[in-house]
Amino acid sequence: MTTLRIAVIGADGIGPEVVEAGVRVLTALTERAPGLDLAFDRFPWGSDYYRAHGKMMPEDGLATLAPYHAILFGAVGDPSLPDDLTLWGLRLKICQGFDQFANVRPTRVLPGVIPPLRDCGPDDLDWVIVRENSEGEYAGHGGRAHRGHPEEVATETAIFTRAGVTRIMRYAFRIAASRPRKLLTIVTKSNAQRFGMVLWDEIGAEVAREFPDVTWDKMLVDAMTIRMVLKPQSLDTIVATNLHADILSDLAAALAGSIGIAPTANIDPTRRFPSMFEPIHGSAFDIAGKGIANPIATFWSAAMMLDHLGHPEASHRLMAAVERVTAAGPLTPDLGGTATTEEVTEAVCAAIRA
């Protein structure tokens, strides 16, 4: 039996609380899932590390993580540090350093969760949002001149490469092809942004020819927000740029009941490097240390990690346990309950053992 080595980075705010809950349910799972052996190494990187060392992770951090099978990540962001410093110093460094170009965000209404809108119930909303995760608006290309002067200039250039767009389109079409409805919606803003977004449209149409079984359409991102709210049933798999998909997936999480349940997989499909699994949510400093963070997004992300690592049965067992708990409680305050992180974690561990 291969021991799968998991690097655990809690990072900031509620991040360490939810990843420790994740490690607990994964450990409970190893006791019930034959053939699953996990070893966890924790790395104390993030904003506290920055305050002590002047950087979010060590210089050789990527080399340290490279031999791991996967990374379980918490959240980054600290109210006392600039958000761009903390994000680029850790989370984006890992995503871009390991070329985790496919950010996969499944969204559905879990049993027992009451969504905010009547027409976005369990039968209406079952999506996978595929976020381009390596370039676009997050290419990090730009600069500032004449800082602080009235003539100050800042540029932020979105970079779209044929190779980058083609690989995320193929990835998204493959996901759409693997789902029962075989539907893909390509989101851009190609009426106003005449270069990169038009390239997205063109490559979308080219790649579509490789997937004749998939029905696809395209939407402008502004109209897409309306469609997600008013016609959720018309959507299945969605592909969008780094920034657009970031925003759409937060909307999706809210429509499905809470950002506290929404998972992410940052995948390097070539498997040259470890992929990284994390809740969509950030560090939520307003509730950090109160013991009430919802650990379910991390559990769902951990289930995606198990699937990626070749343990679909264990992944299924974990999600079944999560769904038993969302259906019957206990639930954390973001889902209308009064339970703590600890109580939800214990309930999921008990459901795994049942």
Annotation marks residue 83 as catalytic: no
Q: Which is nearer to ligand GGG, 73 or 216 (CB)?
A: 73
Give the active site residue among 41, 222, 231, 290.
222
Q: How far is the CB of 228 from ligand GGG (least distance, A)?
A: 18
Q: Which residues bind ligand GGG (CB under 6 A)?
A: 75-77, 87, 91, 246, 278-282
Q: How far is the CB of 331 from ligand GGG (least distance, A)?
A: 21
Q: How far is the CB of 106 from ligand GGG (least distance, A)?
A: 15
Annotation marks residue 189 as catalytic: yes
Annotation marks residue 201 as catalytic: no
Residue type, 212: P
Q: Which is nearer to ligand GGG, 76 or 120 (CB)?
A: 76
CB 179 within 8 Å of CB 106? no
Q: How far is the CB of 284 from ligand GGG (least distance, A)?
A: 10
Looking at the DSSP bridge assignments, the partners of residue 5 are: 39
d(CA 238, CA 338): 34
d(CA 49, CA 71): 18
Give the active site residue among 49, 78, 171, 189.
189
d(CA 352, CA 108): 21
Q: Which is nearer to ligand GGG, 22 or 257 (CB)?
A: 22
Give the active site residue among 236, 246, 268, 307.
246
Residue 280's SS3 state is coil
Backbone angles phi, psi at 157, to 5 degrees: -100, 125
Backbone angles phi, psi at 73, to 5 degrees: -115, 150
Q: Which is nearer to ligand GGG, 17 or 278 (CB)?
A: 278
Q: Which is nearer to ligand GGG, 97 or 121 (CB)?
A: 97
**Residue partners of 270: CB distance under 8 A and separation at least 6:** 99
Q: Which is nearer to ligand GGG, 204 or 279 (CB)?
A: 279
> In this structure, is the dihedral angle defined by the CA atoms of residues 333, 303, 346 and 325, taken in order, positive or negative?
positive
Annotation marks residue 138 as catalytic: yes
Which residue has the CB atom at the shortest distance from ligand GGG? Answer: 75
Give the active site residue among 48, 99, 119, 250.
250
Give the active site residue among 126, 138, 307, 334.
138
Q: How far is the CB of 280 from ligand GGG (least distance, A)?
A: 6
Residue with tokens 């198990």: 306
Q: Taking CA 103 as the corner, what is the angle to CA 93 and CA 68, rounded to the nearest 5 degrees?
A: 55
Q: How far is the CB of 7 from ligand GGG (least distance, A)?
A: 15
Annotation marks residue 246 as catalytic: yes
Burial class (CB in 10 A: 0-12, 13-18, 19+), 54: exposed
Residues recognised as catalytic: 138, 189, 222, 246, 250
